[in-house]
A and B are shown apart, each in its own frame.
Chain A
Amino acid sequence: MKEKKTKRRVTRKEALAMLKSKDLLELGARADSLRKNLHPEGTVTFVVDRNINYTNVCINKCGFCAFWRNADHPEAFLIDKDDLFMKIQETIDLGGTQILLQGGLHPDLRIDYYIDLLTGIKERFDITVHGFSPPEIRYISDTARRSVPETLKILKEAGLNSIPGGGAEILSDRVRRKMSPKKLSSSEWLDVMEQAHELGMRTTATMMFGSVEDPEDIVQHLDSIRTLQDKTGGFTAFIPWSFQPGNTALARNAREAGRVLESTVTAVEYLKILSVSRLYLDNVRNLQASWVTQGLKLAQVALRFGANDFGSTMIEENVVAAAGVAYRVSKEDIILAIKNANFSPAQRDTYYNIVTRH
């Protein structure tokens, strides 16, 4: 890290110019060479986990989301405990090390529900719980009338290990007002992450691009993450993915207004943003390729545009599937894609320690 500090960092202005640049190959080559410096051993990792959504009932109703339902909707659900435990057992049987536990902001749930959920899991299983993104943490703390640090401490004691970076979307309040007016603000998202890092919890950071943001907003987002990471060092990885417009209110509104929502982000744009993320976030060690939103072929190419992690094998994925995207990929497909790109595949845990080399 000390060596890095002496090197001049990419400035906001430079990042903006890169995002607007037409030379994808030049950007890619730079990102690839930084990736190589950070991970000279040539390993590309993935995690075996299951994405478990405990509810789809949500009071936020974000326009870019196709997953939420009202409480009285016939498709509304709250997970049954036996189901949850069965899903976790299956995950462990498949060699899984973590569950990604996330859900909507259900109007009837209070902190006791979450504590009960966590202790129930931890009494039965030895598995890492990577769960409750900042909007959920914030909601739990608000409804419990407790501070964010207090809430985090209680959840941590109940068994929460690590926090996923969801809900960051674009950390620009101008964009958030349009996309997700009820969701927590940029500074609130950053605050939850900072508090979690202070308590010694590791978290990831995400970015959902390709909706209504400008390149300036992307730079703002990257800069917020880099600044907080300088302070805490708590982010394990950065995960940029593109907005999937199928079945969402944003896409419906656009259709009704007679235009197509021009945002299934193309491959060139995805790789450009990935490369710029790698170059700008010099202090975040890991960068994930998103096969769930980009497909296996492009995710493989992403390994040469800055990414060093293939994300999760996703034994179950509901949220992106709700937007009509269903790339089907097995663990074997992922291993083969990594090898075919001349990297060594390895299963990792939540903290990016190697579990098994393949």
Chain B
Amino acid sequence: MYKRIKDKIRSGKRLTRNDALKLFESDDIFFLGEQASFAAKEKNGQRAYFIKNRHINPTNICVNRCRFCAFSRSKGDEGAFELTSAEIIRKLSISSPDAGNGGRGKRKRKSSPGHPVSPFREVHIVGGLHPEWPFAYYREMISAIRRTFPELRIKAFTAVEIDYFSRIAGLSLEKTLLSLKESGLDLMPGGGAEIFDPVVRRKLCPEKISGKRWLEVMEMAHRVGIKTNATMLYGHIENYTHRVDHLLKLRELQDKTGGFQAFIPLSFHPRNTQIQGRYTLGIEDLKTIAVSRLMLDNFDHIKAYWIMLGEKISQLALVFGADDIDGTIVEEKITHAAGALTHEYLTVDQLVTIIRKAGKVPVERDAFYTSIKRYS
């Protein structure tokens, strides 16, 4: 059985649904690790990537109230917040939460004349579906960032948000996406995918767009030239079959468009949510990374998101098929609302150390996986 799967992997043949199920059910984590490492090496050599990035959540007010989410609030709830574009710009000007107003933050990068420079390469923007903000508000937010920081790459809005924008604006998906692209949107994150299976999804997030719709939005984004990521939320009420089917749907779309950059498995966090559950365990996290690497043979990158996995398991994930551990992040609200056990911020030195001690070569990347600096 394993030999057959191994032969397939070594000869570059595709794994089937059954193969993936076998791998998930397997207890041989060393086999999984070795095969996934082989596949990762074929794609990225010994490199493991990180990025100087910052997360921004413009609002937590959301008309969807997904049951696994501890971040969202209704308008008027305690803790509900809304950021202005000016506040977002300010957050993007300082390098770390402790850098303060005076810009003690390191600003090493060269600026184009007349523009302030953000200490980051990429901003990651996701937020709630605000009941009152018009589509223009989001477009202006993106243009303001683009105007202020022309070199900063803007990765913003999940498929769920894009679908919502198209509805509130009365525009087609294509027009919605093109309009954001014109405003300065560079990329889209992969959130909102959760688990595509309709039965699980109805229990998890009944108000959210369907898996089918999520894939349609992504397909359109890819068609208009916007690269995106993809995610999968695991460790709640789904089983291995749901995970495998989810991966297959992503692989299928990637065959068609080639527009996905990275796949990011997201481990469920139970605190303050309406799902009875527990934190995922280490072996489960590593297995999911490994099987994802092996199944998604048409994805260049598998990301071990340290905010959710923790620094320790993210580092190990680099030995189980991942080639990216995300970045500096700086401020993280979504997972922390659900009881994240991690910090919100890692320095470049910490990221480099984690990668190096995993026996990999740390590479600082830009938003499109172009190498900026290789740490030998």
**Chain A contacts to B: CB under 8 angstroms:** 22, 24-25, 28-29, 32, 260, 262, 266-271, 294-301, 304, 336-337, 340-342
Instruction: Pick the most buried of A268, A299, A336, A340: most chain B CB atoms within 10 A of its CB.
Output: A268
Question: Once the chains are docked, how many angstroms separate the CA of A341 from the CA of B282?
Answer: 9
27 contacts between A and B (CB under 8 A): A24-B359, A25-B34, A25-B319, A28-B30, A29-B30, A266-B311, A266-B357, A267-B315, A267-B316, A268-B316, A269-B357, A270-B312, A271-B316, A295-B310, A296-B281, A297-B285, A297-B310, A297-B313, A298-B312, A298-B316, A301-B282, A301-B286, A301-B316, A340-B281, A340-B283, A341-B281, A342-B27
Question: Once the chains are docked, how many angstroms separate the CA of A262 from the CA of B347?
Answer: 14
B178 within 8 A of A: no
CB distance from B22 to the nearest CB of A (A): 15
Given A24-B319, A301-B283, A341-B283, also A294-B37 (CB < 8 A): no
**CB-nearest residue of chain A to B280:** A297
Question: Once the chains are docked, how many angstroms separate the CA of A43 from the CA of B305?
Answer: 32
CB distance from A320 to the nearest CB of B (A): 16
Cross-interface CB contact of B315 among A28, A268, A299, cutoff 8 Å: A268
8 new A-B pairs (CB below 8 Å) besides A295-B310, A297-B281, A304-B283? A25-B30, A25-B319, A28-B30, A268-B316, A268-B358, A299-B282, A300-B281, A304-B30
B207 within 8 A of A: no
Chain A residues near B33 (CB-CB < 8 A): 25
**CB-nearest residue of chain A to B318:** A268
Chain B, residues 43-69, CB within 8 Å of chain A (1/0): the string is: 000000000000000000000000000
Question: Once the chains are docked, how many angstroms separate the CA of A271 from the CA of B284?
Answer: 17
**CB-nearest residue of chain A to B31:** A29
Chain A residues near B357 (CB-CB < 8 A): 266, 268-269
Within 8 A of A (CB), among B24-39: 27, 29-30, 33-34, 37
In contact, A266 and B358 (Cβ under 8 angstroms): yes
**CB-nearest residue of chain A to B284:** A340
In contact, B341 and A300 (Cβ under 8 angstroms): no
Given A297-B282, A300-B282, also A267-B30 (CB < 8 A): no
Chain B, residues 96-119, CB within 8 Å of chain A (1/0): the string is: 000000000000000000000000
- Total CB contacts across the A-B interface at under 8 A: 75
In contact, A297 and B319 (Cβ under 8 angstroms): no
**CB-nearest residue of chain B to A337:** B281
B193 within 8 A of A: no
Instruction: Pick the most buried of B37, B278, B285, B312: most chain A CB atoms within 10 A of its CB.
Output: B312
Cross-interface CB contact of B312 among A22, A260, A262, A294, cutoff 8 Å: A294
Query: Closest 6 interchain pairs by CB?
Result: A297-B282, A267-B312, A301-B282, A22-B359, A29-B30, A266-B357
Chain A residues near B30 (CB-CB < 8 A): 25, 28-29, 32, 304
**CB-nearest residue of chain B to A262:** B353
Question: Once the chains are docked, how many angstroms separate the CA of A296 from the CA of B37?
Answer: 24
Chain B residues near A295 (CB-CB < 8 A): 310, 312, 341
B295 within 8 A of A: no
**CB-nearest residue of chain A to B314:** A267
Question: Once the chains are docked, how many angstroms separate the CA of A301 from the CA of B313?
Answer: 9
In contact, A266 and B37 (Cβ under 8 angstroms): no
Question: Once the chains are docked, how many angstroms separate the CA of A300 from the CA of B283?
Answer: 7
**Chain B contacts to A: CB under 8 angstroms:** 27, 29-30, 33-34, 37, 278-286, 310-313, 315-316, 319, 341, 349, 353-354, 357-359
Question: Once the chains are docked, how many angstroms separate the CA of A75 from the CA of B316?
Answer: 39
Question: Once the chains are docked, how many angstroms separate the CA of A22 from the CA of B356?
Answer: 11
Question: Once the chains are docked, how many angstroms separate the CA of A336 from the CA of B281?
Answer: 9
Main secondary structure of the interface of A (DSSP, over half): helix
Question: Once the chains are docked, how many angstroms separate the CA of A300 from the CA of B29?
Answer: 13
Instruction: Pick the most buried of A25, A299, A336: most chain B CB atoms within 10 A of its CB.
Output: A25
CB distance from A335 to the nearest CB of B (A): 12
Question: Once the chains are docked, how many angstroms separate the CA of A297 from the CA of B286?
Answer: 10
Question: Once the chains are docked, how many angstroms separate the CA of A337 from the CA of B284?
Answer: 10
**CB-nearest residue of chain A to B312:** A267
Cross-interface CB contact of A266 among B312, B341, B349, cutoff 8 Å: B312
CB distance from B216 to the nearest CB of A (A): 36
Question: Once the chains are docked, how many angstroms separate the CA of A163 from the CA of B176?
Answer: 70
Question: Once the chains are docked, how many angstroms separate the CA of A9 from the CA of B336?
Answer: 48
Question: Once the chains are docked, how many angstroms separate the CA of A72 from the CA of B319?
Answer: 50
Chain A residues near B315 (CB-CB < 8 A): 266-268
Chain A residues near B354 (CB-CB < 8 A): 266
Chain A residues near B37 (CB-CB < 8 A): 25
Question: Once the chains are docked, how many angstroms separate the CA of A260 from the CA of B34?
Answer: 34
Question: Once the chains are docked, how many angstroms separate the CA of A300 from the CA of B280?
Answer: 11
**CB-nearest residue of chain B to A271:** B316
CB distance from B182 to the nearest CB of A (A): 44
CB distance from B133 to the nearest CB of A (A): 38
Chain B residues near A299 (CB-CB < 8 A): 282
Given A24-B319, A25-B34, A337-B281, also A266-B353 (CB < 8 A): yes
**CB-nearest residue of chain A to B317:** A267
Chain B residues near A337 (CB-CB < 8 A): 281
In contact, A298 and B359 (Cβ under 8 angstroms): no
Chain B residues near A24 (CB-CB < 8 A): 319, 359
CB distance from A336 to the nearest CB of B (A): 7
CB distance from B360 to the nearest CB of A (A): 9
**CB-nearest residue of chain B to A260:** B349
Instruction: Pick the most buried of A260, A262, A266: most chain B CB atoms within 10 A of its CB.
Output: A266
In contact, A268 and B313 (Cβ under 8 angstroms): no
Chain B residues near A260 (CB-CB < 8 A): 349
CB distance from A263 to the nearest CB of B (A): 11
Question: Once the chains are docked, how many angstroms separate the CA of A340 from the CA of B313?
Answer: 16
Question: Once the chains are docked, how many angstroms separate the CA of A336 from the CA of B315?
Answer: 23
CB distance from A295 to the nearest CB of B (A): 6
**CB-nearest residue of chain B to A25:** B33
Question: Once the chains are docked, how many angstroms separate the CA of A48 from the CA of B347?
Answer: 39
Chain A residues near B278 (CB-CB < 8 A): 336
Instruction: Pick the most buried of B27, B281, B349: most chain A CB atoms within 10 A of its CB.
Output: B281
**CB-nearest residue of chain A to B309:** A297
Question: Once the chains are docked, how many angstroms separate the CA of A266 from the CA of B350?
Answer: 11
Question: Once the chains are docked, how many angstroms separate the CA of A300 from the CA of B312?
Answer: 12
Chain A residues near B312 (CB-CB < 8 A): 266-267, 270, 294-295, 297-298
Chain B residues near A29 (CB-CB < 8 A): 30
CB distance from A281 to the nearest CB of B (A): 21
Chain A residues near B311 (CB-CB < 8 A): 266-267
